[in-house]
Amino acid sequence: MSNKTPPTSVLSVNAGSSSLKLQIFVIPKNNDISKPKLLLKASISKLTSPPAEFTFKNTESDKYAIESQTLEKDINSVDDAFHLILEHLKKDESGFGAPKLDQITHVCHRVVHGGELGVQGPLVINHSVVKELEELTTLAPLHNGPAISVLKATSTSLKNATNIVFFDSSFHASLPDFIRTYPIDQKVAKERKLRKYGFHGLSYQWILKNTARFLGKDVKETSIIALHLGSGASMCAIKNGESYDTSMGLTPLEGLPGGSRSGTIDPSLIFHFTTHPSTTDQTPASIELSHAENILNSSSGFKSLTSTSDFSQILATNPPTQETTLTINIFLDRILNFFGAYWLKLNGGKGGVDAVVFSGGIGEGSPKFRKMIVDGFDGLNGGFDELVDGRNNNEDGEETVYSIGDGGGKVRLLVCKADEELQMVEECLADTKLW
């Protein structure tokens, strides 16, 4: 329920497939509502390649700070992670610079799949919204369930707060019909809402607005190829400020491979892979995740090719093994497939691409992998910036967007640090309909 008061203290929660990231912002009294102040940042990562890692930073006090702690306890779900962070927050309350947990007025939640709800943009939750989201769980099996469980936990533990959901899929409402439509029976497709939705949209919105700012361009005139390479990886062709194509589809399984996801495969492979496919005559509401779908989401991708879903470990294996080399080559190859396609679709050869932007844990964290990708652009002869090693290796840059190229090309090479949490908070503060 909305409490109809302007936000003064906002908690923002991002339940990813391998991590939970959380930030708290305050709007100091008499201050501009568009300038939230970061009070606290916490994350638990490596949930799918344990042991998990905990970080906690209160900008006002170091008393309970945790730079990076390997968790001994069996923390391997977003739910566990949320409760652990909540316990730590309660301990930290005494050291809080400003509001206590019960003074949080608004909670922003990243929900990956919004289905048709997602087209409307962010929503204040009520029972019917939660019910609709629950029905979408099977369409984002690694994400929606955990996000709903955090949503329920904050509704119970932060009773005074308004809970708002922000959808990863909303940014892709602009996909043209010939891109969003799968060539299947259209009656069935419409009835069951089977189409490309696309995800990582909060990240793409953040990348777009910050890249436009960096380039000094209007968002509506900015066209980029963005790569969000995290535990789940996707790419997006953004044309004049709108999503024109993206690699994920009906679910976050389509497109690039990821930590535990296969990405695109021949759909018939499912029937050769499993001896327990779901039967086809179930109604959508009663369909459980099939065995095969579960395998493709949870035990495929990097994890099935090497011993880990943690890409930093795969890149760091020295000397590389046959398995790590194969994994890296597969990921690179699929990225270049999409890159070539998006370059054509955006008319890159005729100046239709302003920048290539890397983001997500891998996109931000690995100069080595960025260089491999950029080397793959050679054949396009596309007027890209030259990669500058000193810039590409810049690990401590504080800026949200920075250049890794020489700046002399028609197509800039940039890194943008993902911040889906702040993206949600900025949207929340800007949209008075939400409070």
Ligand X SMILES: Nc1ncnc2c1ncn2[C@@H]1O[C@H](COP(=O)(O)OP(=O)(O)O)[C@@H](O)[C@H]1O
Ligand Y SMILES: CC(=O)OP(=O)(O)O
Binding residues (CB under 6 A) for ligand X: these are 16-19, 45, 230-232, 259, 310-312, 315, 360-362, 365-366
The answer to the question of whether 14 is labelled as a binding residue is: yes
Quote the tokens at residue 347: 């008319």
Asked if 112 touches ligand Y (CB under 6 A), the answer is yes
Asked if 230 touches Mg ion (CB under 5 A), the answer is yes
Of the candidates 139, 110, 117, the residue with the CA atom closest to the CA atom of residue 285: 139
The answer to the question of whether 370 is labelled as a binding residue is: no
Separation CA 16–CA 142 (nearest Å): 8
The answer to the question of whether 318 is labelled as a binding residue is: no
Asked if 46 touches ligand Y (CB under 6 A), the answer is no
Q: Which long-range contacts (CB under 8 A, 24 or more apart) does 94-99 make?
A: 94/63, 95/58, 95/60, 95/61, 95/63, 95/64, 96/39, 96/40, 96/58, 96/60, 96/61, 97/39, 97/58, 97/59, 97/60, 97/61, 98/9, 98/26, 98/28, 98/39, 98/60, 99/8, 99/9, 99/26
Residues 148-177 that bind ligand Y (CB under 6 A): 168
CB 143 within 8 Å of CB 202 = no
Separation CA 255–CA 245 (nearest Å): 11
Asked if 200 touches ligand Y (CB under 6 A), the answer is yes
The answer to the question of whether 90 is labelled as a binding residue is: no
Q: Could you tell me which stretch among 79-87, 155-163, 225-233, 327-335 binds ligand Y (CB under 6 A)?
A: 225-233
The number of residues that bind ligand Y (CB under 6 A) is: 10
Asked if 252 touches ligand Y (CB under 6 A), the answer is yes
The answer to the question of whether 21 is labelled as a binding residue is: yes
Asked if 199 touches ligand Y (CB under 6 A), the answer is yes
Q: Which is nearer to ligand Y, 79 or 93 (CB)?
A: 79
Does the annotation mark 74 as catalytic? no
Which is the catalytic residue, given 92, 168, 310, 419? 168
The answer to the question of whether 420 is labelled as a binding residue is: yes
The answer to the question of whether 349 is labelled as a binding residue is: no
- What, of ligand X, ligand Y, Mg ion, none, does residue 112 touch, CB below 5 to 8 Å by kind? ligand Y
Q: Is 395 exposed, middle or buried (0-12, 13-18, 19+ CB in 10 A)?
A: exposed
Q: Which is nearer to Mg ion, 105 or 243 (CB)?
A: 243
Residues 8-47 that bind Mg ion (CB under 5 A): 16
Separation CA 271–CA 359 (nearest Å): 35
Q: How far is the CB of 88 from ligand X (least distance, A)?
A: 19
Tell me the one-letter amino acid at 374.
V
Residue 60 Ramachandran class (φ > 0 left, ψ -120 to 50 alpha, else beta): alpha
Separation CA 357–CA 262 (nearest Å): 23
Q: Which positions from 1 to 40 touch ligand Y by CB under 6 A, shown as an x/- string? A: ---------------xx-----------------------
Q: Which is nearer to ligand Y, 115 or 230 (CB)?
A: 230
Q: How far is the CB of 81 from Mg ion (least distance, A)?
A: 13
Q: What is the DSSP string of 236-285?
A: EEEETTEEEEES--SSTTSSS--SS---S--TTHHHHH-S-PPPTTS-GG
- Name the residues that contact Mg ion, by CB under 5 A: 16, 230
Binding residues for Mg(2+): 14, 420
Binding residues: 14, 21, 110, 228-232, 420
Binding residues for ATP: 21, 228-232
Catalytic residues: 168
